[in-house]
Amino acid sequence: MAIQLYMDHNVPRSITDGLKVRGVDIITALEDGTTEVDDPELLDRVSNLGRVLFTRDYNLLQEATKRQRLGYHSMELSMLTNCVS
């Protein structure tokens, strides 16, 4: 089973386009209409879709870490960080 990504609005389009060209299954926050939702709502949305969140948003990563510590086990594999500078 291939990983299905959910690209946050702060990921450069060149990364998203490059992955799409290579056949990666991607939904973007823009396509999904979530570019302005709060972090908790975005995490819920991504989890409900069963996708892996690809983001560069440090605050969102903090929220995901907090949820993991509180026992939200569905979030354990739903974050993928982008370390590209």
pLDDT tens for each residue of 40-53: 999 999 989 989 88
Taking residue 40's Cβ as centre, other Cβ atoms within 10 Å add up to 13
Q: Which tokens belong to 63?
A: 């929220």
pTM of the shown model? 0.79
Residue 35 near residue 50 (C-beta atoms within 8 A): no
- pLDDT greater than 60 at residue 61: yes
pLDDT score of 14: 96
Give yes or no for residue 76 having a pLDDT over 50: no
